[in-house]
Amino acid sequence: MYLGKLAHWPQQRAVLPDAVNRAFEALAAHDLDTLPAGRYEIDGDRLFFMIQEMITQPFDAGRPEAHRRYADIQLLLSGEEGYGVAPADPALAVLDDFFDSRDIAFFAPPDNEQRIRLLPGDFLVFYPGELHRPGRCVGESMPIRKVVVKIDRALLGL
């Protein structure tokens, strides 16, 4: 997992994988605040992003998730979003396995889950297998707008 600020990305790019930098370069070519919610391709199914709008939910209403094929960049555009985060744990119980059909599985909450608060311009990079519980409210539920970039693990050399 990597936590950063979009405003600092130009200085951070040297420590980020090429595929992550390519994703941020593609995002910079768009006015993310005015794009309608939906999916936007950068490189077909290998690299694409989605604009999502949702209402944050209580922390306990969500389950940790992980992906097998894709890494995620989660960039908050507006609102305030809480996350639960934890490293990959092969011993953790899978509650619902949709890896084959949707590249997602939901897990029991790990003992070592940490909470992170994102404000507009903050981003998280989750590599395949890393647990994350997005869309959580920090205080009150609120509408948020975010970008989720999907990066095929092959572009990361995984």
Give tens-digit pLDDT for 98-138: 999 999 999 999 999 999 999 999 999 999 999 999 999 99
Q: Which domains does the chain have, with CATH numbers?
A: 2-156 (2.60.120.370)
The pLDDT of 75-84, averaged and rounded, is: 98
Size of the chain in residues:
158
Arithmetic mean of pLDDT over the chain: 96
Which phi and psi angles does 64 have, rounded to 5°?
-60, 145
Q: Output the six-digit token pair for 60.
A: 């306990």
Task: Give the per-residue pLDDT at 60.
Answer: 92
Question: Are the C-beta atoms of residues 51 and 94 closer than 8 Å to each other?
Answer: no
The pLDDT of 149-158, averaged and rounded, is: 97
pLDDT digits (tens, 9 = 90+) for 135-152: 999 999 999 999 999 999
Banded pLDDT at 64 (limits 50, 70, 90): very high
Q: Using CB atoms within 10 Å of the CB of residue 55, give its burial: 0 to 12 exposed, 13 to 18 middle, 19+ buried.
A: exposed
Q: What is the pTM of this model?
A: 0.95
- DSSP state for residue 27 in the 8-state scheme: H
